[in-house]
Structure 1
């Protein structure tokens, strides 16, 4: 499908209509360039249709159910609360469809040519599409993202063994689910389905969220255990026999569904990169410089396809920068920090690093001393702030309900080179979770108001 009349040559060609790709296309159009975008599936890519938005939609639904079931402590009695999985599925799909249509509208409004099909580089200046369309370009942006990594012996069959995308498109609630993998995807999936009543097992090579601060992970583990999730630590899946996963410690898990969530792989095959000067690194990611240009200087690349962190908001920022570079602006992708959020219970959000060293100090404030957390019975959590000898903020970790909304303050502080004193002296509204950030900063000066360290 082509939305308009495609010219023989465009200023900017974008391969991939995900969050990074369509943002690059829109920014390019805003800068006066003629733009064409090629997308093989749905506009919005994995984020809008299969990953970020669907997962957070289902997490919200599962949280509502859990809150209803636990509302007796607040004096609210609800009997027979349950989820209708068909209605839940329709809502989840409707959210993605609404967002997809919104992206299509924006592209049309900006006069961006949207071409449906598989794109392949015929040369460093031409793209061929599987629908027979071909066109030349002045600059191109590769924004093809990633796909679920595969695990030998556990091939996806769409029924028993599925990837995270399929797990977010179920129109029923499984009785049992075994998740292979222990990163944020596994934790989010496991917790949301456990809240809906699924018996969940997680197979972890080492442990869940092993790259995160263990003070934070300990609180998530506590909640997972309360939900009945069993974490098989320090084991590997060795074989699959029917619905039974055999593990390296000679134990086994029988499950209705097996979800493989062992990471993401860059999507680079079939793009005709061999017809260009674009180079890949040893892990298959597209190699780029600070200007996001590949070894083929008129071809740029952004998002998951160029490596970690493989997060949508990084791709969005790089999409803006790539379009500006393609238009001739002297800009670079020079952001100091990419914040990350795990939508677990409680949420974990981090910007920068909170590791303590001889040159970096860390201050901490517990949510158990925070008025809003006590009122809402969400006391499991804390805020940590890392700062150097000059007081410059180097990292912030927030473990709390609504941590996803609070972490932007931390990212801004790091980008601006703000000090811990700047945070301490900034008035935060009361009563909110964000007060914990200010209290943690005040604690660094030995003057926390609502907590006594002794």
Structure 2
């Protein structure tokens, strides 16, 4: 079988690449060994948001009296919460099947292995192997939960994100190792459901990639919600010989033993680049990533790679953008390389976090003279009315030219607000242009305008 383009992997990088390739007139196939949609749709972005929505509704019920409502009896059904999440994921995966048919993309089920000469072997579940050829092969095999040598995952007491989404029984206590997006989202979910949660973070701040002010606010909010947080700490060893897990944690004050039903390892991801034929084809790899140019061509002509397997942020929206850029370049279109300095990052715990561009520390290290503005949601009429006054918007501008260097938000619904900053930075908008763009009242989004006004000494509501 000969195709113009074959995509290996059907996550948000792979399936988007295949659809764009088909739109551009290429005869396209996609190879997938598990479920269409990859980790994001089946085990990541989508099902976790379903879990977090259940947690939010449960929190509302717990605080109904604060809204003048009387709820006499309510409880959670942990199994039903998990079941709803799986149902949402299954529905989304079926949606990808529809998109494949609509765009006339052949779905080849099985495990793919690259071969020299722009070929790929696909081994089906019954063990039968078929060879396919293409003018262009795009590698989009994604990543999985990273395992540390001192935190081996047994899938029962020491788990990764997959098991955290499908536990049959709610644990009474949980240790979460790592406080990136995955760690804090699961910590928030299980804490909201009533599990006793402790986060162990190696770095001085939780959500360590964020601006320091954001990290500090997140720590305050999570502690207020009942999550225990240990920073500057590391799990040295674990003991699973008893009923639960005993973790030896090294802290600044010495060693401490934590006990819990379950330990969730959320210490990052490991790329899926083993046993896919990279060595056989001579494709260059460095530090667990496939080496590519600005348009995702590997060192071997006809082979490309996108998403988590290449350098850059391991985010669904980045993988999708890379796939589109890759096939548009193959099609001979004029495309600009992706600006990795203008990629938004989002964390969907409560409160949410959204950010783009430089942190205050990074901007200072680059030598910029700064104008910084901050607007707290305690001063927002919409946030107060909604009962969500936690958090703020922080904006960072270059004092000399007015360039919007960074935007950092923490609060209810901020993941839906960050796109304003992304688009404005793409268009090279200045602070004054944001200030003079009339924002609707009362909304959470006007906090962006107010934060900019604060940076320029014109804030009204502070």
- Asked if these proteins are the same fold (TM beyond 0.5), I'd say yes
Q: In structure 2, what is the Cα distance between the partners aligned to 1:218 and 1:448?
A: 24
Aligned equivalent of 1:350, options 355, 377, 380:
355
Cα offset, 1:314, TM superposition: 0.5
| Equivalent residue, structure 2, for 1:289 | 293
Cα offset, 1:164, TM superposition: 1.1
Q: In structure 1, what is the Cα distance between the partners aligned to 2:117 and 2:198?
A: 48
| Equivalent residue, structure 2, for 1:142 | 139
Q: Deviations over 1:55-74 (max 9, x none)?
A: 11111110111111012122
Cα offset, 1:168, TM superposition: 1.3
| Equivalent residue, structure 2, for 1:323 | 327
Superposed structure 1 runs of 4+ greater than 3 Å apart = none
Assess if the C-alpha contact under 8 Å between 2:376 and 2:392 holds in 1.
Answer: yes
Cα offset, 1:226, TM superposition: 1.9
Q: In structure 1, what is the Cα distance between the partners aligned to 2:357 and 2:407?
A: 6
Q: In structure 2, what is the Cα distance between the partners aligned to 1:320 and 1:79?
A: 52
Assess if the C-alpha contact under 8 Å between 1:139 and 1:298 holds in 2.
Answer: yes
SS at match of 1:144: coil
Assess if the C-alpha contact under 8 Å between 1:12 and 1:326 holds in 2.
Answer: no
| Equivalent residue, structure 2, for 1:218 | 216
Deviates more, 1:161-170 or 1:45-54: 161-170
Q: In structure 1, what is the Cα distance between the partners aligned to 2:208 and 2:82?
A: 32
Deviates more, 1:27-36 or 1:252-261: 252-261
Structure 2 runs not aligned, ≥5 long: none
Assess if the C-alpha contact under 8 Å between 1:292 and 1:333 holds in 2.
Answer: no
Q: In structure 1, what is the Cα distance between the partners aligned to 2:123 and 2:75?
A: 46
Assess if the C-alpha contact under 8 Å between 1:188 and 1:342 holds in 2.
Answer: yes
Cα offset, 1:315, TM superposition: 0.6
Assess if the C-alpha contact under 8 Å between 2:173 and 2:197 holds in 1.
Answer: yes
Cα offset, 1:151, TM superposition: 1.3
> Is residue 2:423 matched to residue 1:412?
yes
| Equivalent residue, structure 1, for 2:31 | 38
Cα offset, 1:15, TM superposition: 0.5
SS at match of 2:188: helix
Rate the CA distance shift 1:409–1:124 in 2: closer, same or farther, 3 A: farther
Assess if the C-alpha contact under 8 Å between 2:322 and 2:338 holds in 1.
Answer: no
Q: In structure 2, what is the Cα distance between the partners aligned to 1:445 and 1:162?
A: 48
Assess if the C-alpha contact under 8 Å between 1:11 and 1:138 holds in 2.
Answer: yes
Assess if the C-alpha contact under 8 Å between 1:10 and 1:138 holds in 2.
Answer: yes
Deviates more, 1:330-339 or 1:168-177: 330-339
Cα offset, 1:308, TM superposition: 3.0
SS at match of 1:398: strand
Q: Map residues 16-415 of structure 1 onto 2, 5 A cutoff.
A: 16-131=9-124, 132-206=129-203, 207-242=205-240, 243-248=245-250, 249-281=254-286, 283-335=287-339, 336-355=341-360, 356-357=363-364, 358-388=368-398, 389-415=400-426
Q: In structure 1, what is the Cα distance between the partners aligned to 2:28 and 2:325?
A: 15
How many aligned positions are there? 443
Assess if the C-alpha contact under 8 Å between 1:124 and 1:299 holds in 2.
Answer: no
SS at match of 2:387: coil
Structure 1 runs not aligned, ≥5 long: 1-7
Q: In structure 2, what is the Cα distance between the partners aligned to 1:296 and 1:190?
A: 43
Q: In structure 1, what is the Cα distance between the partners aligned to 2:320 and 2:159?
A: 28
SS at match of 2:401: coil
Rate the CA distance shift 1:277–1:224 in 2: closer, same or farther, 3 A: same
Q: Deviations over 1:290-317 (max 9, x none)?
A: 1111111321111111033111110111
Assess if the C-alpha contact under 8 Å between 2:284 and 2:299 holds in 1.
Answer: yes
